[in-house]
Structure 1
Amino acid sequence: MDTASDQELAIALARMSRNLLSQDTVQNTLNSIVEHAVDLVDGCEHAGILLLHNRRQVETAAATSELVRRSDTLQGELCEGPCFDAADNGVQVYRIADMTGSVQRWAQYAPYARDLGIASMMGLLLYTDEEEYGALDLYSSRPEAFGEHSELVGWVVASHAAVAFSSARMDAQLQTAITTRQRIGEALGIVMERYRIDEEQAFQVLKRSSQHRNIKLRDIADHVTSTGEIPGAR
C-alpha cells in the first residue's frame, strides 16, 4: 500500500472507532461493527458476529445478510467451521482462501458453504468470556478474496470492535443495575408505607417473596411498583 492509502485507512479506522463508541445500544454497536467490516476489509461482501454460549449454542448477534445467518446456523448444527472454531478455540484468525476446493479441516461444513455461495471466508476472535465466546465472520463469493492485508485490517477492525462491544455491554449492565436499584427502592417504599415497617423489614418481605416464588428480586419489585401488590403476601 502507498502512503495515501495508509492514511485513508487510518482515518477510516479512527472514524469507525468513534462511531462504534457513539452507539446508544449494544445491538446498534453490533450492527455498526458488521457494516464497517464490509466497508473496510478488502474482499468482504458479507459480515456477521457469531456468539457461542457454553461452547455449543450459536447465536447470530448481527449480520449484513441472510447468508451469514444460514452459515452460523450450519456451523452451530455441525459444531465446526472457521467462525465457530475462532470463537470456540480462542484462535485470533482463521482464513480460508478457497472454500471451493478441498477443505480438510471443516469437511462437513465446506460443502454447505459452497452451496451458499461462499468461496472464501475469515473468522476473527472478538472476545472470550467465562461461558461465552464471540467471533467476527467475513465472507466473499470469490476464491482468494482475503489476503494478508485483508487479514491485518480484519484483525484491527475486530480489535476495535471488541473494545466497543465490551464498553457497550458494560454501559448496558450499569444502566440495568441502576434501573433495578431504583425499582427495588420504589418497591421498598410501597411495602414500608403499607405495612408500617422499616427498610430492612421491607427488604426481607421482598426477599421472601422472591425466594418462595422462585422469581428474581427485580421482577418482584417490578410487580410491586406496577400493581401495588406483593406476590404471595397475605
Structure 2
Amino acid sequence: MVSTAELDGFLRTLTQRRSRLAELGESDASPSMRELFAEALDMSQELVLADAELRAQQEQLEVSRGELARLAARHDRIVNASDRAYIVTTDMGVLRDVNPAGRALLSLPDFVRSPRPIATRFSELDRAAVRSLINRAAREPELTHRLDKVVLIDRPARPVAVAVTGFHDPTTGELLLDWEITVASRPAFAPATPALPTQDRWRHAEAPAEAARPQPADARMVELVRDLSALEEPADALARVVDEVRTLIDGCEHVGLVLPERGAGTSQLAHQEPPLRALHELEARHKQGPVQDAERTRHAVLVSSLAHDLRWPALARDATDLPISSLVVIPVAFAGRQAGSLTVATHAAQGFDERTVAQLNCLTGLVMPVLGLVRQRQNLRTALASRQEIGTAVGILVERHRITADAAFTLMVAASQRLNVKLRTIAAEVMHTGSDPDDLTIAPSGTRRSAHP
C-alpha cells in the first residue's frame, strides 16, 4: 500500500513537471509542440484527480481497518473463553452473540442467534429497569450505560452489574448493543460453610435444597397482598403499604402516598410526611414539579438532584432548603381514578435509579387494586348502614302520617334535594330529632341542624 508520504512526494513531482511543461509550451511556437504540450497538461490534470481519489480511498480504507480491528477484538471476546460475560444484542435487546461465560451466566442452551430477549433472563423486579437501560443505550449509543445490583432469574443470591455500549455493524450499519455482565463478589460477611463429617455428607447431599434457597420476592408480595386484604379500614391499609415501601427501597427516608377518595375531588386518602408536604406546596405554588409531571403524563419520574434539575427551574431554586435531593414519583390509579401518586425521597443525591422505579412500579401494580377493594368494602358497609337508617326513617314517617313507604321516601328525597344534603343525613335527622323532612333546615355541611318552629 502506498503511504501518505509517498503520495505527497509524487504529487509535488507531478506539479513541478506540469509547471515545466507549461513553460516549454509557451516558449515553443510550433503548433505540433503546442498540441503535444496541451495533451501532457491534460494528462497531468487527470493524474492529479486520480491522486485525490486515491487519497479518499486510502482514508476510507483506514476507517474500515479500524472497524475491522474492533470487530475482530469483539469476536475474540465472544468466541474465545473468558471469565467475563460478553453479549451482543439488537437495539431492542434480542440476543445475537454470547461468549461461553455469558452463556453459562445466563443459562442459555444455544450459543448464537437465540431469539430470546435478554430482559427475560433477569428477575421480574428488574426487567423494567433492564428494558429502560436498553432504550437509553439505543438512544445514546456513544455512551456507556450501567445498571448495578440486578438479579438474574437463575442466580438470585448473586447480583450482577451490567454495562451496555452501542456500536454499528461495519457490514450492515445495524445498531447493536455490546453488553458486559459481571457478578458481584461474594459478601465479606458471608459465613464459610463448615465441613461436614464424612458420614453426613451423603445425607446432606440428599437433603432437599428448598431451605437453603432465599425466599423469592414474589412470596413477600403475596404476603403483603394477603395482609392488605384482611384489613377493614383504608387508612390501615395505606399505613401497611407505606411500611412495605420503607422496607423494600434501599435508602428511602421519606414516603408519600396520596390517593383520591371516591366522590369529592378534594377528598383524599393520604400519607404525607413534612418534607414531601412542603414539596407539594412548592409545586402548587410554581405549577411545576415531579409529582405534577408524573400525574399528568402517567409516567414515573426519577430525580437525581432536585436542586439542580433543569426540568423545573423555579422549583429547584426554592427546593434547596428541603431535606430532599433524590426522589422517585410513581403515578397510581385508585378506585378507578388516575390522580394519585407514590413518592419516595432521600437527602442523598443519586439515591435512586431505574431499579427503584421498577420495584415501585411492581409494588403499586399489585397493591393498588387491593387498596381499591378495601375502600370498596368500606363503601359497602357505609351504604348498608345508610340503607338501614333510611328504612327506619321511612318506617317512622309511614307510622306517623299513615302514608305509603313510597310516599315517605319521596318526602325524604325532596328534602334532600331542597337542602342539598345526602339522603342518609335526612334519614338520620328524622331518626334522632323526630322532625318531618319538610321541617328540616340543615346546613350544607351537615354539622348544624334545626327545625322550623
The verdict on a shared fold, with TM-score over 0.5 as the criterion, is yes
Asked if structure 1 preserves the Cα contact closer than 8 Å seen for 2:258 and 2:269, the reply is: yes
Instruction: Provide the rounded CA distance (Å) in 2 between the counterparts of 1:175 and 1:210.
Output: 21
Identity %: 27
Pick from 310, 321, 327 the counterpart of residue 121 of structure 1: 327
Aligned mates of 2:390, 2:236 — CA distance in 1: 29
The aligned amino acid for 1:203 is: F
TM-score calculated relative to the size of structure 2 = 0.47
Aligned to 1:94: 301
Corresponding residue number in structure 2 for 1:61 = 270
Aligned partners of 2:416, 2:260: CA distance in 1, in Å?
31
1:204 corresponding residue in structure 2: 410
Give, in whole Å, the separation in 2 of the partners of 1:109 and 1:33.
28
Say if 1:109 and 1:60 are closer, same or farther in 2 by CA, change over 3 A.
farther
Match of 2:235 among 4, 22, 27: 27
Distance 1:112 1:60 in 2: 27
1:74 deviates by 2.1
Residue 3 of structure 1 is matched in structure 2 by 156
The equivalent of 2:385 in structure 1 is 179
Aligned 8 A contact 1:126 1:161 in 2: no
Distance 2:248 2:394 in 1: 51
Q: Deviations over 1:92-117 (max 9, x none)?
A: x111122243x121222223333112
Equivalent position of 2:399 in the other structure: 193
Of the three residues 278, 282, 296, the one matched with 1:70 is: 278
Distance 1:151 1:33 in 2: 16
What whole-Å deviation, never above 9, does each CA across 1:34-70 have from its counterpart, x for those lacking one?
22111112232111113479xx96967113x321222
In the aligned structure 2, how far is the partner of 1:160 from the partner of 1:166?
11
Q: 1 or 2 for the larger relative contact order (CA 8 Å, sep ≥6)?
A: 1
* Aligned-pair Cα RMSD in Å: 2.7
* 1-structure distance, mates of 2:286, 2:320: 15
- Check the 8 A contact 1:52/1:88 in 2, yes or no: no
**1:61 to 1:148, Cα distance in 2 relative to 1, 3 A:** same
Check conservation: 1:210, 1:220, Cα contact below 8 A.
yes
| Aligned partners of 2:335 and 2:372 also within 8 Å | no
CA distance in 2 between partners of 1:128 and 1:157 (Å): 14
**Bigger Rg, structure 1 or 2:** 2
Separation in structure 1 between the aligned mates of residue 269 and residue 392 of structure 2, nearest angstrom = 37
Once the two structures are superposed, the pairs formed by residues 127-206 of structure 1 within 5 Å of their partners are 127=333, 133-206=339-412
- Give yes or no for contact 2:290–2:329 (8 Å, CA) kept in 1: yes
Q: Give the Cα separation in 2 of the matches to 1:80 and 1:199.
A: 54
- Aligned-pair CA distance for 1:14: 2.2
Q: Rate the CA distance shift 1:227–1:212 in 2: closer, same or farther, 3 A.
A: same
Normalised by the length of structure 1, the TM-score is 0.86
Deviations 1:135-185 (A, max 9, x none): 101101111111222111111111123112211221122222211111111
Shift of 1:130: 7.4
Q: Please state whether the residue corresponding to 1:124 is helix, strand or coil.
A: strand
Q: In structure 2, do the counterparts of structure 1 residues 39 and 176 end up closer, same or farther at CA, with 3 Å as the change threshold?
A: same
Unaligned runs of at least 5 residues, structure 1: none
State the alpha-carbon separation in 2 of the partners of residues 113 and 32 from structure 1.
29
* Structure 2 unmatched runs, 5+: 1-150, 159-213, 440-451
* Residue 81 (str. 1) matches residue 303 (str. 2): no
**In 2 relative to 1, CA 155–74 (structure 1 residues): closer, same or farther, beyond 3 Å?**
same
Residue type matched to 1:11 in 2? A
